[in-house]
Amino acid sequence: MAAKVSLDVDVTFSPDPGGYRDIGFMPGMRPFTTETATRYAALARQFTPANTGRVRRAIRVMVPGADRRSVYTGVRASWSFWHFVEFGTAHQRPAAPFRNAAGALGLHFDDSGRGS
């Protein structure tokens, strides 16, 4: 005899950090991420107001070395006040060059908040 039972199940997906590393080391992945990061950095510079030349010059593409210690390619603003241009201050409207560049490329902007 079959009986109907209602069942509530919570499923939590936990990605394997090793999987991210393996994907990052796949042939062709580093050139792909480098090209995307370079396009993103160029757009971020383009969206940065001209009167903030120091921020424009501080936008850099960080590419992992050939020794494969890192699989991450990123874009970093090496000037510590980039967030004033991105998020604004009491005296300056937010220009949001990083968020606008991400949106233009169909990427998700994620500020880790670490300040690094």
Boundaries of every domain in the chain: 17-105
Q: Identify the pLDDT of residue 93.
A: 84
CA-to-CA distance for 71 and 93, rounded, in angstroms? 35
HSE at residue 59, side-chain half, CA atoms within 13 A, is 23
Q: Identify the pLDDT of residue 92.
A: 81
Q: Identify the pLDDT of residue 41.
A: 93
pLDDT in tens, the chain (116 residues): 677 777 777 777 777 777 767 777 777 787 888 888 899 999 999 999 888 778 888 898 887 766 555 667 788 888 778 888 888 888 888 889 999 999 999 988 877 665 44
CA-to-CA distance for 17 and 20, rounded, in angstroms? 5
Q: b/e string for 22-44 if b means 16 or more Cβ within 10 A?
A: eebeeeeebeebeeebebbbebb
Q: Identify the pLDDT of residue 1.
A: 63
- Picking from 10, 113, 98, the residue whose alpha carbon sits closest to that of residue 52 is 98
CA-to-CA distance for 109 and 102, rounded, in angstroms? 6
| Cβ–Cβ < 8 Å for 85, 52 | yes
